[in-house]
């Protein structure tokens, strides 16, 4: 038996640009800025009170009627994953019990699910409503909480915030009974999930895997933590659209977004035999970590160069074969510098003209949701033979040069696209996609 | 490509029974109970007032220099201790030619504990009349009270980060959090990385502590915890008719996995071999397990197929055995489905009867006891088993350890939400 290969046959993306891969890809082709004021709550007291928010978002109309009441026990991160999954299966033309009430077009036990998630933030109003029934003399009273206060929380409260619930709801809605995992490695989670999902296919543990990640940090706890970390751009609340500037000379920090991307990974002959549209082949994956990453105030790209080299080696190509990089581009100055250094180390001097594109300028940082979106963008770029632009990039930051950050959209011959990401804490992962030869 | 064999060359644990492997094993064989009133916080009025807590643990007694980890979370400190024990036993640190870019970390580590007092006081002090938090006031107070180190320690990937720092490794690094199945899944996926040559060695296992007010609240609201507040020591009763939920535990267990050929070549002592891994999803409901146990059975079957062995070859099963009404019944059904006529003759036990449920760290801790069962040819018991339940009709190794011929062992973990994982190990020579 020959080596089992992995094709990407479906893309499900939700970002501030819109629902579906098209609005996101078009926004970075057309230079459309999607970061704005935060409307979900009054964020005016936050140094960075802007974000790439999903407007009027709810999973309700994306889940089967019989499952609609379960949306109540979904944190926003879960809702995003559920919508992305629906989009991805439909895009792939795979019938599940979620997309079509009847027969599944794939054996449930051969359908895996691997969805990265973040530290899901509890809804402060929901918990606060219960907490404030256990107050004595203006102070929280733990005894009162134990005897009665906690009873004001819905019994399923905990399940709303477990990170594995992104995958669990998706497996339940769509009938995925194969391997199921939930990777929680911050910004690297999406690439790690997709890479591991691809390995399930190559080692014959599954034929199809839905993989990627989703997260929302547009809530008070999420924003507060990023602010304490010193990662957010401050002083730009009055001009949100221009605020997030990956690799740009005027980068001062990131802007939180919310969203996610799930892709359908499918064993290649399985995809070919059903004449599926195949965006790209996933030919290489690698992961690494930075032993110094636990010191989170020391900016790090998590040994991304090592992860990328492993991915390139697995693809059986050399760095000179890479035609485009879809970067993580957080716009945190120290992280941009580390990331740029990693890409330079991988490409070598001769590769200094390889275009690099980041999505964050348009939609903000998506954390565990980023990797799936970045991989979907890479798949679109290679299938459309188009290099999109890095929104809000004008001139490369001193510490990042030389780096050929793409500032305008153009057609190009792309055979291999490299994409990689990293977490606060020092984990990284990279994938190599290859054009499908027609 | 030639598939590599996967061996375990180091093990370490910090748990409510003991802070190392041998003392833990001795306590289990002596049928000790790890349960006591919660003293981490005042749970006196909670539906469950007790837990299995790690007491008198000092990271400095485990590490030569604990200072770099002073801001690590409670569970992370457990993990560091367990990892140092495992690393030392493996002898990998003495290998001068070790390629650290091929030494990975794959954990099933939980989130760190909330900064409970500050987090809660904010919701009180910024509460608005309208029944919602005034986020402007909340933000102002939050930036006065909240502390970066306490917040970062809650990120579940930070345990991986601290272990990478401690051992200076830079290979593949993953953390998974599939609830109660997490560390079994981590070990299984880590094993696959060794088998297919993606890593030469991996530090794997899990760590978790949910013994904080909102953790206990969450499980109490789900009615998953035992409320036997007057019979604390015997509260966890897996497979028994009178079982009423699990006892929440905390801790960490870490194993070192290596490619057999490399371990052999460097003369490492091989503790056991991982021969099979299976994973599945119930795809049923977030609140309940599939009552027929189909997902659990699929996980066991996948592991058997992966190992290339028949159910007849399994000598012992380490159960998930939480002592909730549902789990134990479903797990029993699944064992019947997989083992058929032989089900009643395969011993199966749950050390959660003594140790409690370490959530993300449970599977790794249980796997360590499976390795020791093979080493010492003895099965750990299910304690507190008094009253048989007609729905649970297997051989649960009740109340005392049993001498037995043990060569091949299966270990199960099932997570809330329906993620199931199974490992199979053998002696390994």
pLDDT digits (tens, 9 = 90+) for A240-296: 999 999 999 999 999 999 999 999 999 999 999 999 999 999 999 999 999 999 999
Chain B residues with CB under 8 Å of A167 CB are 178, 281, 417, 419
Spatial contact of B59 and B81, defined as CB atoms under 8 Å apart: yes
CA distance A381 to chain B (A): 27
DSSP assignment letter at B392: B
Shortest CB distance from B172 goes to which of A168, A174, A288?
A288
CB pairs under 8 A between A and B: 275
Chain A residues with CB under 8 Å of B123 CB are 124, 127-128, 131-132, 140
Give me the pLDDT at residue A102, please: 72
Nearest-by-CA chain A residue for B109: A184
Spatial contact of A124 and B119, defined as CB atoms under 8 Å apart: no
CA distance A2 to chain B (A): 10
**ipTM over the 0.95 cut-off:** yes
Give the Cα separation of A20 and A261 in Å (integer). Answer: 9
Q: Would you call B212 a catalytic residue per the annotation?
A: no
Question: Is B283 part of the contact surface with chain A (CB cutoff 8 Å)?
Answer: yes
Shortest CB distance from A306 goes to which of B101, B132, B158?
B101
Asked if the Cβ–Cβ distance from A289 to B219 is below 8 Å, we say no
Give the Cα separation of A258 and A163 in Å (integer). Answer: 15
Chain B residues with CB under 8 Å of A426 CB are 161, 164, 173
Shortest CB distance from B146 goes to which of A172, A228, A426?
A228
Give me the pLDDT at residue A375, please: 98
Q: Which tokens in the block code for residue B132?
A: 């919602």
Best A85, A157, A296, A425 member to test B by mutation, with max B CBs in 10 Å, is A425
Question: Is B197 part of the contact surface with chain A (CB cutoff 8 Å)?
Answer: no
Summary mean pLDDT of chain B = 97
Catalytic residue from among B19, B320, B370, B392: B320
Shortest CB distance from B127 goes to which of A73, A128, A145?
A128
Q: Would you call B69 a catalytic residue per the annotation?
A: no
Asked if the Cβ–Cβ distance from B164 to A199 is below 8 Å, we say no
Give the Cα separation of A232 and B139 in Å (integer). Answer: 15
Nearest-by-CA chain A residue for B282: A177
Quick: pLDDT tens for B99-132. Answer: 999 999 999 999 999 999 999 999 999 999 889 9
- According to DSSP, the residues that pair with B332 across neighbouring strands are none
DSSP E strands in A66-218: the ranges are 111-116, 135-136, 139-140, 180-181, 208-216
Give the Cα separation of B310 and B303 in Å (integer). Answer: 10
Best A294, A301, A429 member to test B by mutation, with max B CBs in 10 Å, is A294
Asked if the Cβ–Cβ distance from B417 to A159 is below 8 Å, we say yes
Shortest CB distance from A177 goes to which of B140, B147, B283?
B283
Chain A residues with CB under 8 Å of B202 CB are none
Shortest CB distance from A132 goes to which of B46, B127, B219?
B127
Asked if the Cβ–Cβ distance from A427 to B160 is below 8 Å, we say yes
Give the Cα separation of B421 and A182 in Å (integer). Answer: 13
pLDDT in tens, chain A (438 residues): 569 999 999 999 999 999 999 999 999 999 999 999 999 999 999 999 999 999 999 999 999 999 999 999 999 999 999 999 999 999 999 999 999 877 899 999 999 999 999 999 999 999 999 999 999 999 999 999 999 999 999 999 999 999 999 999 999 999 999 999 999 999 999 999 999 999 999 999 999 999 999 999 999 999 999 999 999 999 999 999 999 999 999 999 999 999 999 999 999 999 999 999 999 999 999 999 999 999 999 999 999 999 999 999 999 999 999 999 999 999 999 999 999 999 999 999 888 999 999 999 999 999 999 999 999 999 999 999 999 999 999 999 999 999 999 999 999 999 999 999 999 999 999 999 999 987
CA distance A40 to chain B (A): 11
Shortest CB distance from A46 goes to which of B124, B139, B223?
B139
Q: Which tokens in the block code for residue B255?
A: 């194993």
DSSP E strands in A313-394: the ranges are 322-326, 356-357, 386-387
Angstrom distances, CA of residue A369 to CA of A118, A213, A260: 8, 4, 4
CA distance A286 to chain B (A): 7
Best B38, B176, B188 member to test A by mutation, with max A CBs in 10 Å, is B176
Nearest-by-CA chain B residue for A292: B165
Asked if the Cβ–Cβ distance from A156 to B287 is below 8 Å, we say yes
Q: Which helix (H) or strand (E) holds B11?
A: strand B6-14
Question: Is B177 part of the contact surface with chain A (CB cutoff 8 Å)?
Answer: yes
Which residue in this structure is represented by tokens 């987090």?
Answer: B119
CA distance A27 to chain B (A): 31
Q: Would you call B208 a catalytic residue per the annotation?
A: no
> B201 by DSSP, 3-state: which?
strand
Nearest-by-CA chain A residue for B158: A425
Cβ-based neighbours of A24, under 8 Å, separated by 6 or more = A13, A15, A17, A18, A359, A362, A363, A373, A376, A377
Question: Is B326 part of the contact surface with chain A (CB cutoff 8 Å)?
Answer: no
Cβ-based neighbours of B66, under 8 Å, separated by 6 or more = B59, B60, B80
Shortest CB distance from A186 goes to which of B155, B167, B283?
B155
- Predicted confidence band of residue B1 (pLDDT cuts 50, 70, 90): low
Asked if the Cβ–Cβ distance from A177 to B295 is below 8 Å, we say yes
Backbone angles phi, psi at A114, to 5 degrees: -140, 95
CA distance B140 to chain A (A): 7
Q: Which candidate, B219, B201, B197, B200, places its Cα nearest to that of B210?
A: B219
Give me the pLDDT at residue A75, please: 98
Instruction: Flag whether pLDDT at B326 surpasses 70.
Output: yes
Catalytic residue from among B19, B75, B357, B370: B357
Q: Which candidate, A183, A243, A174, A163, places its Cα nearest to that of A208?
A: A174
Chain B residues with CB under 8 Å of A313 CB are none
Question: Is B269 part of the contact surface with chain A (CB cutoff 8 Å)?
Answer: no
Catalytic residue from among B19, B75, B162, B180: B180
Asked if the Cβ–Cβ distance from A182 to B47 is below 8 Å, we say no
Shortest CB distance from A150 goes to which of B69, B179, B221?
B221
Chain A residues with CB under 8 Å of B37 CB are none
Asked if the Cβ–Cβ distance from B124 to A132 is below 8 Å, we say yes
Give me the pLDDT at residue A224, please: 98
b or e along A251-279 (b: 16 or more beta carbons within 10 Å of the residue's beta carbon)? bbbbbbbbbbbbbbbbbbebbeeeebebb
Question: Is B218 part of the contact surface with chain A (CB cutoff 8 Å)?
Answer: yes
CA distance B289 to chain A (A): 11
Asked if the Cβ–Cβ distance from A172 to B286 is below 8 Å, we say yes
Give me the pLDDT at residue B212, please: 97
Spatial contact of A327 and A347, defined as CB atoms under 8 Å apart: no
């Amino acid at each position: 038996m020959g080596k089992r290969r992995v094709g990407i046959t479906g893309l499900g993306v939700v970002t501030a640009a819109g629902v579906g891969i098209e609005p996101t890809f078009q926004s970075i082709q057309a230079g459309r800025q999607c970061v704005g004021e935060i409307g979900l709550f009054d964020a005016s007291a936050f140094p960075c009170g802007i974000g790439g928010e999903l407007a009027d978002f709810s999973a309700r109309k994306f889940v089967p009627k019989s499952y609609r009441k379960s949306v109540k026990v979904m944190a926003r991160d879960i809702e995003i994953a559920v919508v992305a999954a629906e989009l991805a299966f439909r895009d792939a033309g795979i019938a599940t019990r979620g997309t079509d009430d009847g027969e599944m077009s794939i054996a449930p036990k051969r359908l895996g699910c691997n969805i990265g998630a973040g530290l899901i933030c509890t809804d402060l109003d929901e918990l606060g409503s219960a907490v404030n029934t256990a107050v004595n003399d203006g102070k929280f009273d733990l005894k009162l909480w134990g005897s009665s206060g906690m009873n004001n929380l819905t019994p399923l409260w905990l399940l709303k915030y477990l990170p594995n619930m992104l995958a669990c709801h998706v497996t339940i809605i769509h009938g995925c009974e194969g391997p199921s995992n939930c990777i929680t490695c911050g910004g690297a989670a999406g690439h790690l999930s997709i890479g591991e999902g691809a390995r399930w296919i190559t080692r014959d543990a599954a034929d199809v895997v839905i993989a990627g990640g989703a997260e929302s940090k547009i809530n008070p706890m999420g924003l507060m933590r990023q602010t304490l970390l010193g990662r957010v751009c401050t002083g730009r609340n009055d001009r949100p659209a221009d605020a997030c500037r990956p690799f740009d000379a005027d980068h001062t920090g990131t802007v939180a977004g919310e969203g996610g991307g799930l892709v359908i990974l499918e064993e290649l002959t399985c995809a070919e035999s059903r004449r599926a549209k195949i965006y790209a082949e996933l030919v290489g994956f690698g992961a690494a970590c930075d032993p110094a990453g636990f010191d989170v105030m020391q900016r790090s790209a998590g040994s991304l160069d090592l992860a990328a080299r492993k991915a390139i080696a697995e693809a059986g190509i050399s760095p000179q074969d890479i035609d485009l990089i879809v970067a993580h581009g957080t716009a945190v100055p120290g992280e941009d510098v580390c990331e740029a250094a990693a890409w330079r180390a991988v490409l070598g001097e001769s590769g200094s003209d390889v275009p690099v594109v980041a999505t964050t300028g348009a939609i903000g940082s998506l954390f565990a949701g980023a990797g799936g979106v970045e991989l979907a963008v890479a798949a679109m770029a290679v299938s459309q033979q188009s290099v999109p632009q890095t929104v809000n990039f004008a001139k490369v930051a001193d510490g990042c040069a030389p780096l050929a950050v793409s500032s305008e959209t153009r057609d190009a011959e792309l055979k291999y696209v490299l994409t990689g990401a990293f977490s606060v804490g020092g984990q990284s992962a990279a994938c190599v996609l290859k054009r499908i030869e027609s | 490509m030639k598939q590599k064999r996967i061996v375990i060359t180091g093990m370490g644990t910090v748990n409510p029974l003991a802070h190392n492997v041998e003392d833990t094993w001795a306590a289990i064989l002596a049928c000790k109970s790890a349960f006591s009133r919660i003293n981490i916080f005042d749970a006196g009025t909670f539906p469950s007032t007790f837990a299995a807590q790690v007491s008198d643990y000092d990271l400095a007694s485990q590490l030569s220099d604990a200072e770099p980890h002073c801001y690590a979370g409670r569970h992370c400190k457990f993990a560091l201790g367990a990892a140092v024990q495992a690393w030392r036993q493996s002898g990998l640190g003495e290998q001068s030619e070790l390629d650290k870019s091929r030494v990975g970390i794959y954990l099933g580590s939980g989130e760190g504990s909330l900064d409970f007092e500050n987090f809660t006081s904010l919701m009180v002090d910024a509460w608005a009349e309208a029944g919602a938090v005034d986020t402007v006031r909340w933000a102002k107070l939050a930036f006065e009270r909240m502390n970066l180190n306490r917040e970062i320690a809650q990120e579940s990937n930070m345990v991986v980060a601290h272990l990478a720092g401690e051992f200076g490794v830079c290979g593949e690094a993953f953390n998974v959090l599939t609830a109660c199945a997490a560390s079994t899944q981590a070990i299984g996926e880590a094993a696959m990385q060794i088998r297919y040559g993606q890593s030469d060695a991996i530090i794997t296992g899990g760590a978790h502590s949910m013994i904080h007010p909102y953790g206990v609240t969450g499980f109490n609201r789900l009615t998953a915890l035992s409320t036997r507040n007057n019979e604390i020591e015997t509260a966890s009763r897996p497979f028994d008719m009178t079982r009423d939920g699990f006892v929440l535990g905390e801790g960490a267990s870490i194993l070192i996995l290596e490619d057999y050929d490399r371990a052999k070549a460097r003369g490492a002592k091989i503790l056991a071999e991982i021969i099979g891994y299976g994973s599945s999803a119930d795809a049923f409901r977030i609140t309940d397990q599939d009552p027929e146990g189909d997902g659990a059975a699929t996980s066991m079957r996948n592991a058997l197929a992966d190992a290339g062995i028949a159910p007849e070859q399994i000598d012992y099963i380490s159960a998930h055995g939480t002592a909730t009404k549902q789990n134990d019944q479903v797990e029993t059904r699944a064992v019947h489905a997989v083992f058929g006529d032989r089900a009643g003759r395969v011993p199966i036990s749950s050390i959660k009867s003594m140790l409690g449920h370490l959530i993300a760290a449970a599977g790794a801790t249980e796997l360590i006891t499976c390795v020791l069962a093979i080493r010492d040819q003895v099965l750990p018991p299910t304690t507190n088993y008094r009253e048989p339940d007609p729905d649970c009709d297997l051989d649960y190794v009740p109340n005392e350890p049993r001498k037995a011929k043990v060569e091949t062992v299966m270990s199960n973990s099932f997570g809330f939400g329906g993620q199931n994982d199974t490992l199979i190990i053998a002696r390994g020579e």
